[in-house]
């Protein structure tokens, strides 16, 4: 049997974090964008324990201030891309600047410094990631996907898809389908 699971990564993470922290009886207040405020200061030992707890699940305690901001930018972008209504219509620079209370230029610089890639690239990457997801679910045509992701045309989506992954959307679909058949 095969199931497609549609998930919201933010809910998964916050739910998971909640469980882990409650296990250790640490009270906290979520501030959004992966930021939480603890009620008490932890010892370095306790902090290490928590790190070890979260690491196998891909959760990481970000210590550097710039990294924190980059993580916030990323989260904001993901939220923007995966938001179905109108989100994609907003101009991303405006959206990010408003959301994070920093000038876009500043955000862009920090992002490039830390990740060696641009915010624009990261947005494209995420959009393509969403496109991949939609292609695999196979509920929408390419035209509908292009519309949903705010591309001017299928050609535009296909071009960007190919530029980002090196393969066309149809080749991608074919490869994933054959991979699944292979696994059976």
Partner 1 sequence: MKLIPNFNSPLALRIIFAISIFILLFITSVSYKHNRDLQNSSKLMMHTYEINIQLERLLSFVKDAETGQRGYIITKNSRFLAPYLFSRDKVNRSFIKLKKLMNDNPKQQQNLKNLFDLIIQRYTYLEGSLKYSNEKTYDKRKLDNCMFGGRIVMENIRFQIDEMNDVEKDILQKRQKIYQSEISLTPIFSIILFLVALSFILLSYRQISNDLNRLKVFNKKLLISTKLMAESEIIGAFSTWQWDMDSDKIVYSDNQYRLLGYPPNSFVPKKETFLEYVHPEDKQAFSSLMQGIIENKQLPLIYYKVIRKNGEIRYFKTIGKLLIDEQGSKIMLGITFDITEEHFQNIAIYERNKELEKSNKELASFNHVASHDLQEPLRKIQTFISRISDDDMNSLSESGKGYILKIGTSAKRMRILIDDLLLFSRTNTTKKEFLKTNITDLLEKAKLELSEIIQEKNAIILADKLPKLHVIPYQIEQLFINLISNSLKYSQPNIAPKINIFCEKITAKEFPDLLEQSIKKYYKITFTDNGMGFDPQFKETIFVLFQRLHTKTDEYPGTGIGLAICKKIVENHKGHIIADSTPNKGSVFTIFLPE
Partner 2 sequence: MQKNALHILLADDDEDDRLFFKDAFEEVKIQTKVQFAHDGIELMAHLMHPETILPDILFLDLNMPKKTGKECLIEIKKTEHLKHLIVAIYSTSSSEEDIEDTFIQGANIYIKKPSSFDALKKIINEVVTLNWHYHTSGLNRDTFLLRLK
Q: Segment 48-87, which members bind partner 2 (CB under 8 A)?
A: 58, 67, 74, 78
Q: Which residues bind partner 1 (CB under 8 A)?
A: 155, 158-159, 168
Q: How many whole angstroms separate alpha carbon 15 and alpha carbon 94?
A: 30
Element (H, E) at 36: strand 35-38
Q: Rounded to the nearest whole angstrom, what is the least distance from the CB of residue 179 to partner 1 in the complex?
A: 20
What is the full DSSP assignment across 134-164? HHHHT-S-HHHHHHHTT-S-HHHHHHHHHHH
Q: Rounded to the nearest whole angstrom, what is the least distance from the CB of residue 170 to partner 1 in the complex?
A: 8
155 binds, among partner 1, partner 2, none (CB under 5 to 8 A by kind): partner 1
47 binds partner 2 (CB under 8 A): no
Closest to partner 2 by CB, 25 vs 166, is 166
Q: Can you say whether the dihedral through the CA atoms of 106, 109, 113, 119 is positive or negative?
A: positive
CA angle 120, 55, 52 (to 5 degrees): 150
179 binds, among partner 2, partner 1, none (CB under 5 to 8 A by kind): partner 2
Closest to partner 2 by CB, 27 vs 120, is 120
* CA distances to 24, 103, 148 from 128, in Å: 38, 26, 12
124 binds partner 2 (CB under 8 A): no
Q: How many whole angstroms separate alpha carbon 99 and alpha carbon 95?
A: 6
- Contact residues for partner 2, defined by CB under 8 A: 9, 58, 67, 74, 78, 114-117, 122, 125-126, 129, 132-133, 136, 165-167, 171-172, 174-176, 178-179, 182
């Amino acid at each position: 049997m095969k199931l497609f699971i549609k998930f919201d990564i933010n809910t998964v993470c916050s739910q998971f974090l909640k469980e882990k922290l409650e296990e250790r009886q640490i009270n906290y207040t979520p501030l959004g964008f992966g930021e939480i405020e603890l009620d008490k200061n932890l010892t370095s030992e306790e902090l290490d324990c928590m790190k070890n707890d979260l690491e196998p699940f891909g959760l990481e305690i970000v210590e550097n201030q710039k990294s924190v901001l980059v993580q916030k930018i990323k989260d904001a972008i993901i939220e923007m891309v995966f938001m179905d209504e109108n989100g994609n219509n907003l101009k991303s620079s405006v959206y990010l600047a408003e959301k994070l209370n920093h000038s876009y230029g500043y955000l862009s610089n920090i992002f490039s410094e830390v990740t060696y890639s641009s915010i624009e690239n990261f947005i494209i990457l995420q959009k393509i990631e969403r496109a991949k997801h939609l292609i695999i679910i196979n509920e929408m045509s390419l035209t509908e996907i292009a519309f949903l992701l705010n591309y001017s045309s299928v050609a535009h989506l296909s071009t960007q898809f190919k530029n980002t992954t090196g393969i066309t959307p149809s080749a991608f679909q074919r490869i994933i389908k054959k991979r699944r058949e292979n696994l059976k």
